[in-house]
Structure 1
Amino acid sequence: MQKYQGLIVSDPKIMMGKPVIAGTRITVELILEKLAAGETIEQILEAHPRLTREAIQAALAFAADALRSDVVYPINEAAK
């Protein structure tokens, strides 16, 4: 069983089907963007009181599983 089962859901009627934290409209994408921008988990929790630390960890586990698939993601290297 995945660590995020029951915490991450997708419904075409909510946020165009993007994966969200169950019971919210907070997308996995938003959580990843905030962490990538340098926000701490504590700052995210403060800004979104309905979130839990467990939900943020579930979002990270979901993203890791999504990237584990056999899809190739071309990344253009910056000019050297």
Structure 2
Amino acid sequence: MNIDWAALGSVFGVSLVVTVALVGLFTLGVVGLAKQESAGGQGGVTGPAALARTGAYACFALCAAAVAYGIWLIVA
């Protein structure tokens, strides 16, 4: 049995970086929604609440895109 340790290390490193990035991105989305809640009545449609909500939705969309790409890689 021959194990390619370089390939195994590469897979481990990439999966660690992607996991940390994805969790960080999701955390930014949750923080953005929390900021939107705390800025509730300060600005209406164009204020800081709308900016926080838009940023949070963008973070969640990027998370969903990363998960969909991972599933596509597994299926393809």
Structure with bigger gyration radius? 2
Q: Fold match, TM over 0.5?
A: no
- Of Structure 1 and Structure 2, the greater strand share is in 1
- Of Structure 1 and Structure 2, the greater helix share is in 2
TM-score by length of structure 2 reads 0.35
TM-score by length of structure 1 reads 0.33
